Amino acid sequence: MSADGHNLPPPGARADWTIDQNWDRYTAAEHQVWIKLYERQSALLPGRACDPFLRGLDALDLHRAGIPDFARINEELQRLTGWTVVAVPGLVPDDVFFEHLANRRFPAGHFIRKPEELDYLQEPDVFHDVFGHVPMLTDPTFADYMQAYGEGGLRALHLGQLHNLARLYWYTVEFGLLQTPAGLRIYGAGIVSSHAESIFALDDPSPNRLGFDLGRVMRTPYRIDDFQQVYFVVPSLQALLDATLADFGALYAWLGAQPDVPIDAVLPSDQVFTRGTQAYAKAGGRG
Ligand code: HBI
Ligand code: FE
């Protein structure tokens, strides 16, 4: 931590925390982990992930021969929505993260998990970031949402409101569900990159599935180390983008006077898609 309270980038990283991907340095074993994860998810997701995600997966041809070369996928991604993927060593400070998003750059972890970590890891790796987040960035509406989120994040930081915005990110970008005529579909990266949660989020009777509402989401805590107890459903990606047009200043003022909503609660004002049994949470998490 330097004098002005800013985190300095680690050795070898540039001032914006980006590093070279050095794609040709990945080992065959690392590419094999990607292929194993990719094949498992791509067999599971048709009928579960939303169409924009599946279209993005195809457009970027992420399977090829293992961990994607960012330079290659950026040609197509930039053509589609102006976004690019940049390599970073891992989690970056909030202000750095938002600055990248506000400029249509998605910071992707450079490393890939170990074969023994296939199902859970603490920090987002290249599979979570590139398989989970990047396909949705090929959708013009979601691409606009992610940039608006970055701009909102920079404002929230200066207003001391990051915690509210982090909840919005968590319940949309990471764990969001989309309403479609064929039923609920996944768009959240934290779900699509997880085999178990891609099943749990849609099929399990335990969690609540409630209609998305900006203020409700910002009043709802979340937990980072287990399946979600509540998922929020947007009627369309356009509705999600439209939510960023709200007057966040007034919303933050209103939120300041509101208590958090207990994570397992259903409010009378909630639009209920499924009222969960919360059995999973009561059972104390991963059985
Ligand atoms: N850094 N590389 C990376 N990836 C993230 O998803 C990320 C981050 N830094 C901060 C952060 N996410 C969160 O604080 C925001 O989602 C709110
Ligand atoms: Fe993520």
Across the strands, what pairs with 149?
none
Which residues, including other chains, have CB under 8 Å from residue 79's CB and lie 6 or more apart?
none
**Ligand 1, CB cutoff 6 Å, lining residues:** 88, 91-92, 94, 97, 107, 109, 124, 166, 169
Measured in angstroms, how far is the CA atom of residue 96 from the centroid of ligand 1?
9
- Cα gap 222→267, rounded to integer Å: 17
> pLDDT tens-digit profile of 74-100?
999 999 999 999 999 999 999 999 999
First to last CA, the chain: 40
Two tokens at 14?
């540039």
Q: Which of 18, 91, 193 to mutate to test the pocket of ligand 1 (most atoms within 8 A of CB)?
A: 91
- The verdict on pTM exceeding 0.90 is yes
What per-residue confidence (pLDDT) applies to 6?
Answer: 64
> pLDDT tens-digit profile of 248-272?
999 999 999 999 999 999 999 999 9
Counting other chains too, the contacts that 45-51 makes at CB distance below 8 Å and 24 or more residues apart are 45/186, 45/192, 45/198, 48/185, 48/186, 48/198, 48/199, 48/202, 49/185, 49/186, 49/187, 49/192, 49/198, 50/178, 50/180, 50/185, 50/186, 50/187, 51/180, 51/185
Which residues, including other chains, have CB under 8 Å from residue 153's CB and lie 6 or more apart?
94, 97, 98, 101, 102, 162, 165
For residue 126, the surrounding DSSP H or E stretch is: helix 126-126
Tell me, rounded to whole angstroms, the distance of Cα 21 from its chain centroid: 21
User: What's the mean pLDDT in 28-53?
Assistant: 96
For strand 230-234 and strand 183-186, is the pairing parallel, antiparallel, or unpaired?
A: unpaired
Fold for 23-282, please state it: Phenylalanine Hydroxylase (1.10.800)
* Torsion angle in degrees (nearest 10) through CA of 109, 115, 118, 120: -70
> pLDDT tens-digit profile of 17-34?
999 999 999 999 999 999
Tell me, rounded to whole angstroms, the distance of Cα 14 from its chain centroid: 24
Query: Which residues are in the CB-under-5-Å shell of ion ligand 2?
Result: 124, 189
User: What's the mean pLDDT in 163-182?
Assistant: 96
- Cα gap 90→207, rounded to integer Å: 30
- Cα gap 89→266, rounded to integer Å: 39
Measured in angstroms, how far is the CA atom of residue 268 from the centroid of ligand 2?
31
Do you know the residue count of the chain? 287
Domain residue spans in the chain? 23-282
What per-residue confidence (pLDDT) applies to 119?
Answer: 82
